[in-house]
């Protein structure tokens, strides 16, 4: 693996390349992106593609990529510009792309704005909460996570986030009537370290979850776009946002093994099924439905 830093006016973007460029077999490189997950989250999945040149990167302001633009918010449009710059720096033509969570939102923005950059995109569980039928209630639930974080710190905020993302079905008054989630019940710290800059729990990434993809631009692009959902996510928020995103694009979701982090090994807790996930991704990239 070789690590590179691409200097742009707004950020220094660190990316890792596993394998040769140009690729040994002439196939496009496989770029894996997340948000707020950085390159470190794709180690297990990358290892399932030893025959491919795999590229991972840290989004600006996350991991090793430092910002120079004086901002702290994360927007799909800015992230799309960064991904476009990284793809250009690879000098290997368009890429195949696997994108997860907020990275899937960025990837949809890339296809809309830079349609020649990506030959096939597998967008796994984009958390586009305003696209679901209960969008206003989902926005209210998201605000509840921020409130818990602002009032009581990271542990409380993360407990509220887990409660929100594990809730099954639409956000009803029953959801909002629940007592505040207890961080100790989830094995999370109860003390407040005073920080309020977490990209997942603060409002810094609300532009990502509030984004509405340009369906017309995506349809006009030459990119084959696949919206993927984990088989265990069917009734929870990211499963429902995946279905809503697919419907916006005039398609049906493609089912993958496991859950929202189904490609992860046990390195972050709550492991997925990386072997099965990697095999399914390989099949879908090769054209299987």
CB 29 within 8 A of CB 23: yes
pTM: 0.96
- Alpha carbon distance 238, 232 (integer Å): 10
What integer is the mean pLDDT of 105-133? 98
Q: Which residues sit opposite 228 in a β-bridge? A: 124, 254
Cα angle, residue 58 at apex, residues 6 and 252 outer, rounded to 5°:
120
- Alpha carbon distance 272, 19 (integer Å): 25
Segment 85-90 long-range contacts (CB within 8 Å, at least 24 positions apart): 85/6, 85/8, 85/13, 86/6, 86/13, 86/15, 86/31, 86/55, 86/57, 87/31, 87/114, 87/117, 87/118, 89/4, 89/6, 89/15, 90/17, 90/21, 90/29, 90/55
pLDDT in tens, 182-223: 999 989 999 999 999 999 999 999 999 999 999 999 999 999
CB 6 within 8 A of CB 13: yes
- Alpha carbon distance 100, 118 (integer Å): 15
What integer is the mean pLDDT of 279-286? 98
Residue % of the chain over a pLDDT of 70? 100
Helix (H) or strand (E) holding 54: strand 54-57
- Alpha carbon distance 156, 217 (integer Å): 40
- Alpha carbon distance 268, 262 (integer Å): 12
pLDDT in tens, 10-53: 999 999 999 999 998 899 999 999 999 999 999 999 999 999 99
Compute φ and ψ for 90, nearest 5 degrees.
-65, -30
Res 245: pLDDT: 98
Res 107: pLDDT: 98
CB 68 within 8 A of CB 10: yes
Which of these, 139, 119, 164, lies nearest to 260 by C-alpha position? Answer: 164
Q: Give the start-end residues of each E strand in the chain.
A: 2-7, 11-18, 30-33, 54-57, 66-67, 95-100, 118-124, 224-230, 254-256
Res 288: pLDDT: 79
- Alpha carbon distance 97, 285 (integer Å): 9
pLDDT in tens, 142-184: 999 999 999 999 999 999 999 999 999 999 999 999 999 999 9
Residue that is written with structure tokens 């006016």 in the block: 9
**Largest Cα span, the chain:** 57
289 has a pLDDT exceeding 90: no
Confidence of residue 266 (pLDDT cuts 50, 70, 90): confident
Q: Which residues sit opposite 7 in a β-bridge? A: 12
Q: In sequence order, which residues have a C-beta less than 8 Å from that of residue 108 and are 6 or more positions away?
A: 76, 121, 123, 126, 211, 213, 218, 225, 245
Res 270: pLDDT: 81
């Amino acid at each position: 693996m070789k690590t590179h830093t691409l200097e742009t006016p707004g950020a220094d973007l660190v990316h890792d390349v596993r394998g040769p460029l140009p690729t040994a077999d002439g196939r496009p490189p496989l770029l894996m992106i997340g948000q707020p997950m950085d390159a470190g989250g794709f180690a297990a999945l990358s290892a399932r593609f030893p025959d491919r040149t795999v590229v991972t990167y840290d989004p600006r302001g996350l991991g090793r990529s430092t910002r120079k633009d004086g901002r702290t918010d994360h927007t799909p449009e800015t992230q799309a510009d960064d991904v476009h710059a990284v793809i250009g720096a690879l000098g290997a033509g368009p890429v195949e792309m696997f994108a997860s969570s907020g990275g899937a939102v960025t990837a949809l923005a890339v296809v809309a704005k830079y349609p020649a950059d990506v030959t096939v995109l597998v967008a796994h569980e984009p958390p586009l909460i305003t696209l679901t039928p209960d969008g206003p209630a989902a926005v209210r639930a998201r605000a509840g996570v921020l409130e818990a974080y602002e009032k009581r710190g990271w542990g409380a905020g993360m407990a509220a986030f887990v409660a929100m993302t594990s809730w099954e079905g639409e956000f009803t008054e029953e959801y909002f009537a629940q007592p505040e989630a207890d961080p100790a019940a989830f094995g999370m710290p109860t003390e407040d370290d005073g920080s309020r800059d977490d990209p997942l729990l603060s409002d810094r990434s609300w532009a990502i979850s509030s984004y509405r993809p340009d369906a017309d631009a995506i349809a006009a692009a030459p990119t084959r776009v696949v919206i993927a959902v984990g088989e265990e996510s069917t009734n929870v928020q990211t499963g429902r946002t995946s279905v809503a995103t697919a419907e916006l694009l005039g398609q049906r979701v493609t089912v993958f093994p496991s859950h929202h982090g189904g490609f992860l090994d046990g390195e972050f807790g709550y492991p997925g099924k990386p072997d099965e996930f990697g095999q399914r991704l390989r099949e879908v990239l090769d054209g299987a439905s």
